[in-house]
């Protein structure tokens, strides 16, 4: 049982070893083996294995061994690449761990969320993610957002009490649930459940069992189905044709299956994993961490970015510039009141209070604290009750909120009615805000004899003055916004600050600020009206968390792919609503948890670089898809034609599999290929119609060229089976490599430099391919040495093929 000092370090370690880490995704120790076995679970591969074993029993032992020697290393290649990609992501994710404050050995310490154990005493503040299922043992204004679990949009107050699991989750007010988060207040709780045993764990298990796919996964699935349909039709027809030609059933089956392996996207999952993981690694080098690999595509597709101004457009180092009394004169008393409010509150850690305390230093003495009303986003103010020659309530917050709770104002030390002075106070507030400053109001109220305070006390207060904060613009903010615009990304500034400072900041960085839409106006607009407003408005001020979410939904309704950049408690809903949630590693837990992209540097330039890298990664993935599928489709069509008219199989199954295996290496190197600058200026997505068109047009062009090559081999050189196969093996491999260099770019191929990995992998493979028929290994797999005049003719034909593809891509490649 937990004692007030919490668990001992030794006991916590013992429980961690016994119960395991506090995680929802408990990966099996055999996951590497599962990943390896997954490389061979394709039905086509399994049938190919079975047919090969049968052929070995029928006497074709050498051929069977060679086929297995090609299939198995190909599977290991896929495993190695996917395993590396998985390790890369695990390493990146370790950089964005959520940490928890627990009491160990009587002291508050910070530990990773995975190390929380049953019995831990957890300290909670506004913005904290609830790290496990807890029983509340201390609470002060503890309000928790449980929408992730219950769907209830309003925060629920939590209190000390016993656990009663006969009640619904929403009724269990003495419990805190994993995955929810603290909106305001402070508290402590004892961990009663961790990981999969939590209420959220049970829900997550149910959701994980459902077939939920992302847009990227839907694209890859649609692409796979396109190839599957083409493969089933062509390969079945080819198998039946061989039977009609009275060729051996096993040979015909192996030949057909080998072609199926060549046409089906066996390497597609590997290429995608490798390409996206390589992209994630490069993005990490640019201080952009990707929590989900498929988020890279969404990042690249982004056409609108919604963000607050603090830390993105401004430096993010807020400082208290002035503490003013209502007449505008600087005031030591107002500064002292601000200090007592900031120093006494515990429920809402924020940069404004930090700026106040930093400005004051040790100038004032801390007062005794009686009570606190934590900040929330409806009241937009924070109140403390301190001992200042008797109980004194001090409230600070948004100026409009403070002004609305006051009925008097202190001018030159004299308390006067507010009404005659309200217009002057409002005018002064607007003037200071219009200079780009953030301005809070501060008020007080004497509460004789009281040692508790509640919301009902926040009325009939005395306005004491203004707190003026300054956060200077980043020097390169305007350039960063222009950089985003060059990538086709509109910037929307959404802030809780007042309209005057929002307009000032927006104007300085070049955002259209003629129209500034404020929260009270948004509240009056329905969904359709707000959607129309966001088509022209780029600056939103005085908004609450719900309105932020509504703005995101409205911008999405215009057809934009929306990114939202946030790091505060009030950003969680907006982060979930956006296509791409972006946060920073210093964000509150709930924001960091909701985001799919986490930045190590809160900078718009970093986002622009991340978007460009995301688009570069997707472009390289599409290179493999387009070129690989068109080459495979062309080979199958060519095989079908040759198979019908030749007295022998145009290529043996082992030769087809070897060709596919060898061309895997340049395909994997595509992930590091260079990308033309114009290819990242606009977002790109899966376009199955375009891929199908590309496959048919360039695939058939390849087939026409192949058939011409067949004619040269049979009519010009009267090639035997082994010479024919040797000639086509060389020609087929070299043309696939050549066409990759041509079709990897929309430019003239000599004007677009390929990546070093792709170029040298292609060169080495080309040399290897030409040499193989002249070796003993070539004779073993049934390839005859090529006469040098045939080699020269094949090279000449490949040159013609390159020219034809260069001409064709002008019309067929969009």
513/531 Cα distance (integer angstroms): 18
How far apart CA 378 and CA 362 sit, in angstroms, is 33
For residues 156, 161, 163 and 165, what is the CA-based torsion angle, rounded to 10 degrees?
Answer: -50
DSSP state of 580: E
Distance (Å, rounded) from C-alpha 498 to C-alpha 509?
17
Of 270, 293, 262, 266, the residue nearest 280 (C-alpha): 293
Rounded to 10 degrees, the C-alpha dihedral 273/274/276/277 comes to 100
Tell me, letter by letter, the H, E, C secondary structure of 734-793.
HHHHHHHHHHCCCCCHHHCCCCHHHHHHHHHHHHHHHHHHHCHHHHHCCCCCCCHHHHHH
Helices then strands (H, E): number in the chain? 28, 23
Are the C-beta atoms of residues 564 and 582 closer than 8 Å to each other? yes
Residue 252 to residues 48, 702, 724: CA-CA distances in angstroms?
12, 24, 18
Q: How far apart are the first and last CA of the chain?
A: 67
Cβ count within 10 A of residue 87: 12
What does the alpha-carbon distance between residue 593 and residue 598 come to, in Å, rounded to a whole number? 9
Q: How far apart are CA 547 and CA 554, in angstroms?
A: 10
| Angle at which helices 268-285 and 215-244 cross, to 10° | 150
Out of 308, 471, 567, 679, pick the active-site residue: 308
Instruction: Measure the CA–CA gap between 393 and 406, rounded to whole angstroms.
Output: 13
- CA gap 493, 242 in Å, rounded: 66
What is the distance between the alpha carbons of residues 30 and 25, in angstroms, rounded to a whole number? 14
Taking the CB of residue 590, how many other CB atoms lie within 10 A of it?
A: 30
Which DSSP string do the residues of 135-167 spell out, in sequence order? EEEEEEEEEEE-HHHH---S-EE-------TTS
Q: Which residue has the tokens 């003055």?
A: 465
The residues, any chain, with a CB within 8 Å of residue 569's CB and separated by 6 or more, are: 126, 127, 181, 182, 183, 588, 590, 591
Tokens of 107: 């002291």
Residues near 492 by Cβ (< 8 Å), separated by ≥ 6?
304, 305, 306, 307, 534, 538, 539, 540, 551, 555
* 308 is annotated as an active-site residue: yes
Residues 6 or more apart from 320 whose CB is under 8 A from it? 338, 355, 356, 358, 359, 467, 468, 469
Sequence-distant (≥ 6) Cβ neighbours of residue 370 within 8 angstroms: 385, 386, 387, 391, 450, 451, 452, 453
Residue 211 is classified by DSSP as: -
Q: State the number of CA atoms in the 13 A half-sphere of 541 facing the CB.
A: 17
**Among 127, 109, 90, 77, residue whose Cα is nearest residue 12:** 109
Cα 814 from Cα 808, distance rounded (Å): 11
Write the CA distances from 560 to 164, 243, 302, integer angstroms.
46, 54, 7
Whether the CB-CB separation of 616 and 330 falls below 8 Å is answered with no
CB atoms within 10 A of CB 289: 23
Rg of the chain over CA atoms, in angstroms?
A: 34
Catalytically annotated residues: 308
């Amino acid at each position: 049982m937990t004692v007030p000092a919490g668990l001992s370090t030794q006991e916590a370690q013992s429980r961690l070893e016994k119960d395991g880490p506090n995680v929802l995704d408990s990966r099996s120790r055999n996951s590497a083996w599962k990943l390896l076995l997954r490389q061979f679970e394709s039905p086509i591969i399994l049938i190919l294995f079975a047919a090969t074993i049968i052929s070995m029993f029928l006497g074709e032992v050498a051929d069977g061994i060679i086929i297995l020697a090609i299939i198995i290393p190909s599977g290991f290649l896929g495993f190695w690449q996917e395993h590396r990609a998985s390790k890369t992501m695990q390493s990146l994710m370790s950089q964005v761990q959520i940490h928890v404050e627990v009491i160990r050995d009587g002291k508050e310490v910070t530990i990773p969320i995975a190390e929380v154990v049953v019995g831990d005493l957890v300290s909670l503040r506004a913005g904290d993610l609830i790290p496990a299922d807890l029983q509340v043992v201390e609470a002060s204004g503890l309000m928790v957002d449980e929408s992730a679990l219950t769907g209830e949009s309003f925060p629920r107050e939590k209190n000390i009490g016993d656990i009663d699991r006969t009640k619904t989750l929403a009724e269990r007010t003495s419990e805190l649930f994993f995955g929810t988060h603290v909106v305001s207040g402070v508290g402590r709780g004892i961990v009663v459940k961790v990981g999969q045993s939590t209420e959220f764990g049970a829900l997550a298990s149910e959701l994980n069992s459902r077939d939920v796919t992302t847009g990227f996964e839907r694209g890859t699935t649609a692409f796979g189905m396109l190839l599957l349909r083409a493969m089933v039709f062509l390969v079945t027809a080819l198998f039946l044709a061989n039977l009609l030609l009275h060729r051996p059933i096993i040979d015909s089956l192996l030949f057909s299956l080998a072609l199926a392996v060549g046409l089906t996207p066996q390497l597609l999952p590997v290429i995608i994993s490798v390409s996206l993981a390589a992209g994630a690694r490069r993005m990490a080098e640019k201080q952009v961490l990707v929590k989900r690999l498929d988020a890279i595509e969404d990042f690249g597709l982004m056409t609108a970015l919604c963000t607050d101004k603090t830390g993105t457009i401004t430096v993010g180092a807020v400082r208290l510039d002035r503490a003013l009394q209502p007449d505008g004169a600087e005031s030591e008393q107002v500064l002292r009141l601000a200090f007592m409010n900031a120093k006494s509150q515990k429920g809402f850690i924020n940069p404004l209070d930090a700026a106040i305390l930093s400005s004051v230093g040790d100038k004032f003495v801390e007062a005794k604290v009686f009570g606190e009303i934590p900040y929330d986003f409806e009241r937009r103010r924070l109140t403390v009750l301190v001992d200042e020659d008797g109980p004194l309530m001090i409230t600070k917050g948004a100026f409009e909120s403070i002004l609305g709770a006051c009925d008097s104002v202190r001018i030159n030390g004299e308390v006067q009615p507010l009404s005659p002075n309200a217009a002057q106070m409002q005018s002064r507030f607007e003037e200071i805000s219009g200079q780009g400053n953030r301005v809070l109001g501060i008020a007080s109220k004497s509460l004789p004899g009281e040692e508790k305070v509640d919301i009902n006390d926040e009325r009939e207060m005395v306005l004491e003055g203004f707190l003026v904060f300054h956060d200077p613009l980043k020097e390169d903010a305007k350039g960063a916004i222009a950089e985003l615009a060059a990538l086709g990304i509109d910037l929307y500034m959404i802030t809780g600050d007042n309209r005057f400072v929002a307009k000032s900041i927006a104007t300085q960085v070049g955002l259209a600020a003629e129209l500034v839409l404020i929260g009270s106006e948004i509240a009056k607009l329905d969904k359709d009206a707000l959607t129309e407003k966001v088509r022209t408005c780029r600056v939103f001020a005085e908004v609450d968390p719900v309105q932020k979410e509504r703005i995101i939904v409205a911008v999405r309704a215009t057809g934009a792919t929306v990114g939202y950049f946030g790091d505060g408690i009030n950003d969680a809903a907006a982060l979930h609503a956006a296509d791409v949630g972006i946060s920073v590693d210093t964000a509150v837990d709930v924001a960091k948890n909701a985001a799919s992209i986490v930045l190590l540097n809160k900078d718009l330039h970093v986002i622009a670089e991340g978007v460009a890298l995301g688009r570069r990664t997707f472009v390289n993935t599409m290179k493999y898809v387009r070129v690989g599928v068109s080459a495979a489709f062309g080979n199958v069509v060519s095989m079908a034609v040759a198979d019908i008219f030749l007295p022998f199989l145009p290529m043996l199954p082992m030769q087809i599999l070897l060709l596919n295996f060898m061309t895997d290496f340049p395909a994997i190197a595509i992930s590091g290929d260079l990308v033309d600058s114009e290819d990242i200026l606009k977002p790109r997505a899966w376009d199955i119609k375009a891929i199908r068109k590309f496959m048919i047009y360039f695939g058939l062009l390849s087939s026409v060229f192949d058939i011409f090559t067949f004619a040269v081999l049979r009519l010009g050189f009267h090639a035997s089976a082994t010479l024919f196969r040797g000639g086509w093996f060389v020609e087929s491999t070299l043309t696939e490599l050549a066409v990759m260099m041509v079709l990897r770019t929309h430019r003239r191929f000599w004007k677009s430099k390929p990546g070093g990995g792709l170029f040298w992998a292609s060169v080495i493979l080309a040399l290897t391919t030409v040499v193989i028929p002249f070796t003993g290994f070539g004779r073993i797999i049934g390839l005859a040495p090529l006469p040098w005049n045939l080699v020269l003719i094949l090279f000449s034909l490949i040159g013609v093929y390159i020219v034809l593809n260069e001409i064709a891509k002008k019309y067929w490649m969009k």
